[in-house]
Amino acid sequence: MPTRTVTVGSAVGLHARPAALIAQAASSAASAVTLATSGRNPIDAGSALLIMTLGAKMGDTVVVESDDEVLVDQIARLVEQDLDAHPA
């Protein structure tokens, strides 16, 4: 199963807005995708609430896993971005 380990890029970690954006992308895909942090069981990335329960902070590593390699790359890119950044 394709996996990718990435570093959380959002300044607030995987909290409300970043979690919602990731969940929206994951839930609109045809394949399931999971996220996991060290020492924790994988969670369904289609749920913003479950993403927030990971407690992932900026700089933490997250493992993204799915049957769909393109989806893994898409979600991994979202995790790496500062999704809470506001344009100037």
Which pLDDT tens digit goes with each residue over 29-71? 989 999 999 989 999 999 999 999 999 999 999 999 999 999 9
Q: Cα(27)–Cα(45) distance, rounded to whole angstroms?
A: 7
> Confidence band (pLDDT; 50, 70, 90) for 86?
low
Comparing 88 with 63, which gets the higher pLDDT? 63
Torsional sign, CA 61, 66, 49, 18: positive
> Confidence band (pLDDT; 50, 70, 90) for 84?
confident
> Confidence band (pLDDT; 50, 70, 90) for 87?
low
Q: Do 1 and 67 meet the contact criterion of CB atoms below 8 Å apart? A: yes
End-to-end CA distance of the chain: 40
Indicate the average pLDDT of the chain. Answer: 94
The domain 3-80: what is its CATH number?
3.30.1340.10
